[in-house]
């Protein structure tokens, strides 16, 4: 787990230093040209604020992230933290910090199919992740609020 935490810390630091643009020098260039959001959430057991850097597609003015965890057999902890946490949370998009309403959508359902389709098209690695598990990755719709 320390390796993933170290990687996330490196991504977050580079994200903030470059207004959300990640280059070839971060994570082997895996995120070049892709939009990420930094999702702030509170651990439901620890009560500790955490930040998850996540690939984000758009749906109108909203951002879509998915709990894929590379195709792991279970959802990442941040999904349950968002489900059990307040409806509104903080996200960082580029150089902006926003409040957003979070809605977790689980599949299968027509809305999940639509949202997951948008995210998977934006993030081609999704197709490979799907080969590692039978679970449907939850999608979180993050709608900025005034």
The CATH number for 86's domain is: 2.30.110.10
- In this prediction, residue 146 carries a pLDDT of 81
| Tally of domains within the chain | 1
Q: Is residue 118 part of a domain?
A: yes
- In this prediction, residue 5 carries a pLDDT of 79
CA distance 35 to 136: 22
Ranges in the chain, pLDDT < 70 = 1-3
Alpha carbons within 13 A on the beta-carbon side of 96:
6
Q: Is residue 5 part of a domain?
A: no
Token output for 53: 């850097």
Q: Which residues span the domain enclosing 135?
A: 34-144
Q: Is residue 27 part of a domain?
A: no
CA distance 53 to 22: 11
CA distance 39 to 43: 12
Burial of 67 (C-beta count, 10 Å sphere; 0-12/13-18/19+): buried
Q: Is residue 23 part of a domain?
A: no
Give the DSSP H/E element, type plus range, for residue 65: strand 62-66
pTM of the predicted model, to two decimals? 0.94
């Amino acid at each position: 787990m320390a390796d993933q935490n170290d990687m996330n810390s490196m991504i977050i630091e580079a994200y903030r230093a470059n207004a959300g643009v990640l280059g070839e020098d971060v994570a082997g260039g895996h995120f070049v040209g892709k939009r990420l959001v930094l999702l702030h959430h509170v651990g439901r057991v620890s009560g500790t604020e955490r930040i998850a850097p996540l690939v984000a597609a758009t749906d109108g003015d909203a951002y879509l992230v998915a709990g894929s965890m590379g195709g792991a057999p279970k959802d990442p902890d941040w999904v349950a933290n968002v489900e059990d946490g307040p409806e509104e949370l903080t996200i960082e998009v580029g150089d902006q910090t926003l409040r957003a309403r979070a809605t977790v959508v689980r599949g299968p359902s027509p809305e999940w199919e639509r949202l997951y389709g948008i995210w998977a098209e934006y993030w081609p690695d999704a197709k490979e992740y799907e080969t590692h598990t039978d679970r449907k990755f939850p999608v979180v719709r993050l709608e900025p609020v005034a």
